[in-house]
Amino acid sequence: MIYLRNNLVAIFTLVLMLFLVTFSVATAQDSGEEGLDATAFEGAVSTTSLDEALAAQGSSSPSSILNQRPPTIGTGVTETDPKEAVEKQAAIISLFEKRVVSEFSVFSFMAFWVQKAVSLGIPADTIVLILLAPIIATLVSFIRIVVGLPTLELLVPIALAFALVSVGIVLGLIILAAVYMASYVSKVILKDLRMMFFPKRSMSMLFLSFFVFAALTMAVFLDIEAAKKVSIFPVLIIMLLGEAIVSLQLHKSFMETFTITTMTIFIGLVGYLMATSVTTQLTLLVYPELVLLTIPANILIGRYFGLRVSEMFRFSALK
């Protein structure tokens, strides 16, 4: 009875959240605003002042402007150009005109919050990443509980995704490869060394630093522009991933470490693709209420007590 009651509560919460989100979207559409269609963002902006702003910057498509990388994130690989900032701000304002939320209400409080935050000067890309964090976290929960595959701590794949957004996918993969090689070298050298665990981890950071430094140097020789302007913070996040891999390798088997690391990097790459997708950016900026669907989703995942997908494959041979 308790199990049935908990599932009924989860289903009721999911239905309620779907109703709230649907009602919010329908309200915006009924008021004459356009929905999130990919072709809707290919036209010019709707007001004369915004048309002039975009024309002055040499652009006519909000989606093409929002697709410009790197984003306006404080730890990005390049500093934001003032002209690009003005151009992007005009595109974002035109985007919000497709769903104007001028007053606070229960059904559109998040849209009001996002639009107000952008008008106060908070970068839209930063808001997108903040709203994307619970979505990636829900994906981690789904993979660990329903699929049954292990990952590192919850924040690691989220931080990895944001680090890849900041440094770029090419340089990010080069640093990841260096981190993985450094973790393997650390395991070979330190595993049989008779000393305490934390000094071993401290020594592994030496190998990580050397390999990451070598990777950045190689990237410069390969004429990867991002390597010349990269910030320390995304690199440090990726190095922390390497330190976690070393800790795993010191007390787990190679196969266990490989599985955990691969799944963590996979989720980080999925998060990167979501964060750099124009569709995702536009959706979260115009309809941020969709993030609330992670509440019933996590309730359902948390109440799942059946066989995991990996266990189904494992036990299928016993039939």
Query: Using CA atoms, how far apart are residues 246 and 187, in angstroms rounded to an integer?
Result: 7
Give burial (CB, 10 Å; 0-12/13-18/19+) of 117.
Answer: middle
pLDDT tens per residue across all 319 residues of the chain: 444 444 444 444 454 454 444 444 444 444 444 433 433 333 333 333 334 433 444 443 444 444 444 333 333 434 455 566 666 666 676 777 667 777 777 777 888 888 888 888 888 888 999 999 999 999 999 999 999 888 888 889 999 999 999 998 999 999 999 998 988 888 888 877 888 878 888 888 898 999 999 999 999 998 888 888 888 888 888 888 888 888 887 778 888 888 898 999 999 999 999 999 888 888 888 888 899 999 999 999 998 888 888 878 777 766 6
Provide CB contacts within 8 A for 160, sequence distance 6+. Answer: 237, 238, 241, 264, 265, 267, 268, 271
Provide CB contacts within 8 A for 185, sequence distance 6+. Answer: 207, 211
Q: Which of 175, 168, 180 is nearest to 217 (CA)?
A: 175
Please give the distance of CA 254 from its chain centroid, rounded to a whole number. Answer: 28
Residue 79, helix vs strand vs coil:
coil
Provide CB contacts within 8 A for 22, sequence distance 6+. Answer: none
Q: Which sequence spans correspond to the domains of the chain?
A: 2-121, 134-300
Rounded to 10°, the helix 109-119/82-96 angle is 150
**Contact indicator for 136, 161 with CB cutoff of 8 Å:** yes
Query: What's the CA dihedral at 178, 179, 183, 186 to 10 degrees?
Result: 70
